[in-house]
Amino acid sequence: MSRVLALDTSTETCTLALWSGGAVRARHEQQARAHNRHILRMLSEVLDGQSLAEAVDMVACGIGPGSFTGLRVAVSVAQGLAWSRQLPVHGFCSLSAQVYSAAEQGFLNDGERILTTIDARIDQLYGLWGEWRDGVFTPDGEPFICPPEAMSESAQGGLQQMLGSGAVYRDRLPAAITEHAQIHPAVTPDAAVMARLLGTAVLQANLQPAHALSPQYVQKEIGWKKLSEQGRRD
């Protein structure tokens, strides 16, 4: 078993966990637009007096897609920690992490088609299609971004589970995508789940040096909006 420190700040959830010795210590908090003010405090709490060198073999980081600022927070913290002790890093897709979080909560059944999403906050959503089988999520391809109305109906292939904050656009998605799907808008990445799966090698880590870690923005053209223009999300 590896001792894994995992973190993700791609959504409004700030999540950080340490898997060590067959147990996990975790902090999982809703901290919209405040990840940078809380993540180091959360790190101190999960280390519980241990030094990084004593407690961690590798750092796993959600690289997105998701919040532009959030991704930079996660990647910069992961790189700083890894550089300080010459630790290897593993970048994981935040949309895939949501699927494993949903499985942990008992939402998924074997063989189901999944659409995992994150609200891009610019009248678009990030998404990833795939299948849940034998405890593993297999994506169809790469994460994408699009307006909800532009979602391809042909891609859905009998959608059964829609996960994540992109569900805020459910009424604007093609009816063929959502009409038979269970929708779980509150699902977010969970560092405790990812730390355990990587620490026990259920998921294979792709270890890299810290400098190789980079955010997966997906969005190529940024349409900036002021906070007052973005609206509230319930």
Using one digit for the tens of pLDDT, what is the confidence trace for 35-80?
Answer: 788 899 999 999 999 999 999 999 999 999 999 999 999 999 999 9
Fold category of 94-184 in CATH: Nucleotidyltransferase; domain 5 (3.30.420)
So what's the pLDDT on residue 158?
Answer: 78
Would you kindly state where each structural domain of the chain is located, as residue ranges?
A: 4-93+189-230, 94-184
Residue 232 has pLDDT above 70, yes or no: no
Find how far residue 53's CA is from the centre of its chain.
26
So what's the pLDDT on residue 231?
Answer: 53
Cα 60 to Cα 102: distance, rounded to the nearest angstrom: 19
pTM of the model: 0.91
What confidence tens digit (pLDDT) does each residue in 185-200 have?
999 999 999 999 999 9
Q: Is residue 67 within 8 Å of residue 222, measured between CB atoms?
A: no
So what's the pLDDT on residue 183?
Answer: 96
Is the pLDDT higher at 134 or at 32? 134
Query: How far, in Å, are 39, 55, 62, 173 from residue 78 at the CA level?
Result: 11, 15, 9, 35
Residue 141 has pLDDT above 50, yes or no: yes
Fold category of 4-93+189-230 in CATH: Nucleotidyltransferase; domain 5 (3.30.420)
Q: Is residue 130 within 8 Å of residue 118, measured between CB atoms?
A: no
At residue 225 the predicted structure's pLDDT band, cuts being 50, 70 and 90, is: very low
Fold equal for 4-93+189-230 and 94-184 = yes
126-139 mean pLDDT? 96
So what's the pLDDT on residue 134?
Answer: 97
Radius of gyration in angstroms for the set of CA atoms belonging to the chain, rounded to a whole number? 17
